[in-house]
Amino acid sequence: MTTAAPMPLPFPFAAIAGQPQLRQALLLAAVDPGLGGVLIEGPRGTAKTTAARALAELLPGAPFVTLPLGASLESLVGTLDLGHALAGHELKFAPGLLARAHGGVLYVDEINLLPDALIDSLLDAAASGVNVVERDGISHRHVARFVLVGTMNPEEGTLRPQLLDRFGLCVHLRNIEDAAERQAIVRARLAFDVDPQGFRATHAQAEAELAAALVRARAVVADASALPYGDAVHEAVGALCIEAGVDGLRADLVMLRSARALAAWDGAVAITTDHVQRVAEAVLLHRRKPEAASAPSAVAPAPAPSSRPAGNGSNHSPAGNDGTGEQDWGAMPPEPVGIERVKPLRPLIPSQTLSQAAPKKA
């Protein structure tokens, strides 16, 4: 009888260096899982998986569940327990990965490679905190509150805008270019690999403080009467979202909830515009329209119509502007095409044959 190999110890969250935006986004999602999770974009080797595993350890008794790329929809949301049904008993629901991740972290590596059906169900449960399954003659719902962490490498493709918008926060990681910072990160990782227990012991106090701070912040967020905010906060959120050209109001709501989570983490008595500014980039990074990032502050006058003759491409609008205000990054100006003379078509049946085949008059 073989025994299961012990799981490797996770790298301490308190020891993660060089990625402050990543740390803040993960902590905010842990304070308020209703934000909708965190999407982490970045190249390989930037501590995406390490940070997700370390976050689960800060939550007391929290499971860490990984969704594999080859998972089926039934394994994610749950399905009918066929073994129980075939045994002659009543219909019974078999929970899936969403139920197992309740209270912990659900991690999806290369989430951009998942089928859209799985991503839809995943994001629905992450935002609502409830998993609803209606199939195979059963209707079942259960609580599924977890911190969703998805990672992806933009070089391998991206998500549709509709799916990107449903992630609460987004962080874009870059390679560490400071030599001293790179050396410090490498030394810390090597020290952990040589002696995981000893390395974790040196950061045990910092880990305990982070875990206690999370417990306090989550209790504050759960109190609906805590952390009031005034019109200035609403005005700041609205101005930032309008400037980014976002669709709908999800960005406004997520920004307010993120600012509230940050205020709870800071131990503040109220939400301020400073909290809004500190969370704005993570909320708007994946929702900002490309034209909003490069548009000038004043509206440029429309170009005068060209006096050149049509057909030379001079009166074609610039690539990326079709007149509707939306960008078409694949647009190309029309190119003139020459006309090639072709030989006239000849009838399949000669005219002489037709005259001979015509019936004669009586």
Burial track 45-67 (b if 16+ CB lie within 10 A, e otherwise): ebbbbbbbbbbbbbbeebebbeb
Average pLDDT for residues 279-295, to the nearest whole number? 85
Between CA 197 and CA 283, with CA 47 as vertex, the angle to 5 degrees is 130
For residue 117, the model assigns a pLDDT of 86
For residue 305, the model assigns a pLDDT of 38
Residue 255 reports pLDDT greater than 90:
yes
pLDDT band of 162, cuts 50, 70, 90: confident
Higher pLDDT, 102 or 362: 102
Give all strands (DSSP E) within 89-222, no chain letters: 93-94, 105-108, 130-135, 138-143, 147-152, 169-172
Average pLDDT for residues 76-96, to the nearest whole number? 71
Please state the pTM of the whole predicted model.
0.76
Least reliable range by pLDDT among 93-107, 141-155, 170-184, 333-347:
333-347
Sheet of strand 147-152, all strands in order from the earlier edge strand to the far edge: 64-66, 105-108, 147-152, 38-41, 169-172
Are 312 and 276 spatial neighbours (Cβ–Cβ below 8 Å)?
no
Residue 43 reports pLDDT greater than 90:
no
Average pLDDT for residues 267-287, to the nearest whole number? 96
The catalytic position among 145, 250, 260, 287 is 250
For residue 225, the model assigns a pLDDT of 93
User: Burial of 324 by CB count in 10 Å (0-12 exposed, 13-18 middle, 19+ buried)?
Assistant: exposed
Residue 287 reports pLDDT greater than 60:
yes
pLDDT band of 88, cuts 50, 70, 90: low
pLDDT band of 193, cuts 50, 70, 90: very high
Are 318 and 309 spatial neighbours (Cβ–Cβ below 8 Å)?
no
Residue 323 reports pLDDT greater than 90:
no
User: What's the mean per-residue pLDDT of the chain?
Assistant: 82
Based on the residue annotation, tell me whether 189 is a catalytic residue of this protein: no
**Percent helix, strand and coil across the chain, each rounded to 5?**
45, 10, 45
Residue 328 reports pLDDT greater than 50:
no
Structure tokens at 17: 């260096």
